Amino acid sequence: MAVKLLERLAARAPVPVFVAMGRDRAPAVERLLRSADIDVTATPRHASILLIAGRVRDSDQAYLDRLHDQLPHPRTTFWWGDEPQADVDDARRAASSDDPVISLRALYRNLISGAHASETHRLADEPPAPWRGKGDHGQGGEGMMGGVPYGRMMPMPPTPDIRDGLTLDVYTTQIGPFMPYWPAGLVLEVTFQGDVIQSAYVVQPPYPPRDVDRVPFDRLLHETTALAQIERARAAHHLVCIARVLSLVGLPTLSRRAQILAARVRANETIAIAPLRKAAARSGLTAALAPGLGRIDDRLARELGGPVQRAAGHAIDDRSDNPTYTRLDFTPVTQTQSDCRARLAQWFDEAEQALALVSAAPDAMIGQGALVEAPWALRAPPIDYRVTELLPGLEWSEALLVLNSFDSAALCRMGPLETP
Amino acid sequence: MTLIALTVAWVAFLLGMAWYIAVLDGLWAAAREGRAPRAPLANPLYRCATILRQQSNLTEAPDLLNWRLAPALYAGLAGTGVALVPFSSASVLADLEVGIVWWGAVEALTVVVVFLHGWSANSQLGLIGAYRYVAIGLPVMLISMFVLIAAALPAESLAVPKIIESQRELWNVIRQPLGLPLFLLLGLSLSFRGPFNYADSADIAGGTAAEVSGAPRLVWEFARLAMLTAVATVAASVFLGGYLGPWLPGPVWLVLKTTAVLLVSVGLSHQLARISPSRMMTLIWTVLLPLSFLHLVWAGVLAL
């Protein structure tokens, strides 16, 4: 009786979903957030459905399996994307053009009632190697380290902290590739002391910009494309970038609003960004980003190009030379400081400018093959700088802000595979 | 009999206020997101059922005893905080001469319990949440102790009922205007919300709660709401005269004042961005703590 009541109540709750963001044909996950029926969780431990959005690299499969096994029972996996999944029934997948909310809702209801069986472990539920420490939990041992966590990353001897000299245990861990508010696909091995990063290196590079953002820019190579489509894609891309930063500074509701706006822009609805920007400013967004945090030098900003370069004060934009844009009196917006604040302000400015262009010339067309600035940094040539050079000495929350102040193309160029 | 009635009232108050905060959270979030709220009154119940329907998971080599105990201890601490507050002049569950000292212990032990919760799961993100919480929780506690001692000065007593009685002529919120705003920050810190959510924030995948699911998670989430309730109840009593008020019975006044304080707290937690832990530490040590000390000096001079 009580169990039945629990099931009935639970079936009415928003569906707790953990999103593993894939690459390539990754659908616009922000569409999910338009529905109050979906609760995107920050950790797999709080979710019942693992949503795999788009294709993942083969090398990410092991991470995905570990993620899957962290979901508490009852649990299941749902694929959203065009990649064929031969062994998956229709209840657990949707094409990237479909809206998966109704399918997720039905799947969740069946999962709760037991009609859909909970998925078993993909990996063996045993430690990767036995603990060799002393005591009930293997917690004790010889010397400062206490125990030998055999088969795991070795703890290192304490060294003076690079921030304030306070010595805490140093520990190394891998982070990514599916953490929320984390560049999709990126895996870093990070050495911490407390919550301050001592060193980091790239284990797996991040994914390039999503297909959903690239479509109109790729189309322009082959056919004449509407300016409105190009600029709406730019605004949506920037809004999603802004949403990540808003979430990191503890404004999850405004973050969700930004993502809903992005989904609405993609759906060709008319929206205004100014109210969101105002609400964020009133909440102290600027104060939450320390001045100078994540500042990069001029040479790097120029090499990266795109919004990163304009945030450093360089008014370089391919649209300046395009006749469709010059007729609209287009001039690139810029910032001066080249830090996280500047890059965030640049996204806001460019998104607002993009929507202003759409309303100024809703029917303007851009000729096939014309050069139009993409919403992200230049994707070539190779660059001799690592994103991990920006991180040592930062607290974890600051490091996340720095990482998320770059678009995925910039991160790709700064995050090729490294060896320690 | 009175003790039984008081205990029932105490439990009902804690559960009712937790539900009220969850409803407020839902409404506030929907308004900020620019969408209609989803079943605002029943949604907290649905979410409880969802969490309860999930399995209580384990991590590799956790300190299981402490991991399971931490949520219960946290809820217990919140409960004892509410028990200090009288519902009317004759009805208080824990009538302590040193109520304010007890509350100080609740604050201090909360820091221990939250650290324990993050540490015992044997998970790196939980540990980061735990470290951060200790760094912020300790100085905020000092602010609150200065503020509470200031409130105890006019009453010349550390007992909560006597502090309330000392406000018959004038509430402390008027006599000591900095007290309530500073104390509200404590509420956000003790329940790690909004600008003070350094323990369980999304940037560390839920922090100290990143690894917990099922019933222990439900207790943990309830304890956060109960702790905010405890802070609001103490604030309503120490600064807003608690059960004192015309026409209506004392308990009604206490509930009204507590809900008003909670409304402001929930609003602050949704409206304010969070700064990095090190900048918050600087803000607390260099601005808020000296401010609370000045507040104490001001209250001392007034009491002379």
In tens digits, chain A (420 residues) has pLDDT values of: 778 888 889 889 999 999 998 876 556 787 787 788 889 999 999 999 999 888 888 888 888 998 999 999 899 999 888 666 667 777 777 777 788 888 999 999 999 988 888 888 888 877 666 666 666 655 555 544 454 454 455 555 556 556 666 666 677 888 888 888 888 888 999 888 878 888 888 888 888 888 788 888 888 888 888 999 999 999 999 999 999 999 999 999 999 999 999 989 988 899 999 999 999 999 999 989 999 999 999 889 998 889 999 999 999 888 888 888 888 888 999 999 999 999 999 999 999 999 999 998 888 888 888 888 888 888 777 777 788 888 998 989 999 999 999 988 888 888 776 544
State whether residue A393 sits within 8 Å of chain B by CB.
no
Angle value at C-alpha A207, between A266 and A128, nearest 5 degrees = 130
Give the nearest chain A residue to B134 (CA atoms): A194
pLDDT for position A144: 45
Nearest CA-CA distance, residue A36 and chain B, Å: 6
**Does B205 sit within 8 Å of A43, measured CB to CB?**
yes
Give the nearest chain A residue to B59 (CA atoms): A70
Mutate to test the interface with A, among B203, B285, B287 (most CBs of A within 10 A): B203
Closest CA to A418 of A200, A193, A129, A126: A200
Residue ending a domain, choose from A64, A96, A113: A113
A64 contacts: CB under 8 Å, gap ≥ 6: A20, A52, A56, A178
Closest CA to B120 of B53, B200, B48, B58: B58
**Does B273 sit within 8 Å of A288, measured CB to CB?**
yes
**Does B63 sit within 8 Å of A43, measured CB to CB?**
no
CA dihedral for A131, A135, A141, A144, sign (positive or negative): positive
Position A195 in a domain: no
**Does A290 sit within 8 Å of B275, measured CB to CB?**
yes
Q: Using CA atoms of B238, B242, B246, B247 in order, give the dihedral in degrees to the nearest 10.
A: 170
Q: Which CA distances in Å does A315 have to A300, A306, A319, A333, A334?
A: 15, 10, 11, 7, 6
Amino acid identity for residue A30 in this structure: E
Position A160 in a domain: no
Q: Counting Cβ atoms within 10 Å, is residue B39 exposed (0-12), middle (13-18) or buried (19+)?
A: middle
Amino acid identity for residue A246 in this structure: L
**What number of C-beta contacts closer than 8 Å exist between A and B?**
161
Residues of chain B with pLDDT under 50: none
Mutate to test the interface with A, among B24, B67, B276, B279 (most CBs of A within 10 A): B276
Is there a single domain that holds both residue A361 and residue A240?
A: yes
**Does B28 sit within 8 Å of A9, measured CB to CB?**
no
Position A266 in a domain: yes
CA–CA dist A32, A40 (Å, integer) = 9
Overall domain count for chain A:
2
Is there a single domain that holds both residue A106 and residue A248?
A: no
CA–CA dist A187, A342 (Å, integer) = 26
Closest CA to A362 of A220, A228, A217: A228
**A344-383 residues touching B, CB cutoff 8 A:** none
DSSP B285: I
Position A250 in a domain: yes
CA–CA dist B104, B81 (Å, integer) = 10
A415 contacts: CB under 8 Å, gap ≥ 6: A183, A186, A202, A205, A206, A386, A387, A388
Give the nearest chain B residue to A73 (CA atoms): B55
Position A374 in a domain: yes
Nearest CA-CA distance, residue A315 and chain B, Å: 31
Identity of the residue in A9, A42, A131 whose CB atom sits nearest the CB atom of B202 = A42
What are the b/e assignments for A280-306, b being 16+ CB within 10 Å? beebbbebbbbeebbbbeeebbebbbb
CA–CA dist A21, A14 (Å, integer) = 20
Closest CA to A19 of A94, A87, A80, A72: A80
**A181-240 residues touching B, CB cutoff 8 A:** 181, 192, 194-195
**Angle, to 10 degrees, between the axis of helix B2-33 and the axis of helix B64-83?**
110
State whether residue A50 sits within 8 Å of chain B by CB.
no
pLDDT for position B214: 92
Domain containing residue A92: CATH number: 3.40.50
pLDDT for position A92: 79
Q: What is the pLDDT of residues A355-366, one digit of tens each?
A: 999 998 888 888
Is there a single domain that holds both residue A109 and residue A219?
A: no
Q: Counting Cβ atoms within 10 Å, is residue B168 exposed (0-12), middle (13-18) or buried (19+)?
A: exposed
Token pair, residue A377, equals 């940094």
Residue ending a domain, choose from A84, A113, A142: A113
CB A262 within 8 A of CB A233: no
Q: Determine how many CB atoms are found less than 10 A away from the CB of residue B84.
A: 24
Is there a single domain that holds both residue A225 and residue A107?
A: no
Token pair, residue A151, equals 């088969």
Which chain B residues touch A283 with a CB distance below 8 Å? 271-273
Amino acid identity for residue B178 in this structure: L
Which chain A residues touch B279 with a CB distance below 8 Å? 290
CA–CA dist A76, A122 (Å, integer) = 12
Is there a single domain that holds both residue A93 and residue A217?
A: no
Question: Could you tell me the residue range of the domain that residue A334 belongs to?
Answer: 211-378
- The backbone torsions φ and ψ at residue A30, rounded to the nearest 5 degrees and listed phi first, read -60, -20
Residue ending a domain, choose from A89, A113, A137: A113
Position A369 in a domain: yes
CB B142 within 8 A of CB B97: no
Identity of the residue in B29, B202, B209 whose CB atom sits nearest the CB atom of A181 = B202
Q: What is the pLDDT of residues B158-201, one digit of tens each?
A: 888 889 888 888 888 888 889 999 999 999 999 999 899 999 98
Position A204 in a domain: no
Which chain A residues touch B271 with a CB distance below 8 Å? 282-283
Token pair, residue A258, equals 């930004």
Give the nearest chain A residue to B30 (CA atoms): A253
B34 contacts: CB under 8 Å, gap ≥ 6: A257, A260
ipTM given for this complex: 0.90
How far from the centroid of its chain's Cα atoms is residue B215's Cα?
Answer: 21
pLDDT for position A166: 62
B91 contacts: CB under 8 Å, gap ≥ 6: B2, B6, B9, B251
**A58-87 residues touching B, CB cutoff 8 A:** 70, 72-74
CA–CA dist A19, A44 (Å, integer) = 9
**Does A282 sit within 8 Å of B273, measured CB to CB?**
no
Identity of the residue in B47, B203, B209 whose CB atom sits nearest the CB atom of A181 = B203
Q: Which CA distances in Å does B90 have to B87, B94, B151, B182, B243?
A: 8, 12, 21, 29, 11
pLDDT for position A25: 59
**Does A137 sit within 8 Å of B46, measured CB to CB?**
no
Position A246 in a domain: yes
Identity of the residue in A112, A139, A397 whose CB atom sits nearest the CB atom of B53 = A112
**A275-314 residues touching B, CB cutoff 8 A:** 279-280, 282-285, 287-288, 290
Q: Using CA atoms of A192, A398, A174, A251 in order, give the dihedral in degrees to the nearest 10.
A: 130
Max distance between CA atoms of chain B, in angstroms, equals 59
Mutate to test the interface with B, among A181, A397, A401 (most CBs of B within 10 A): A397
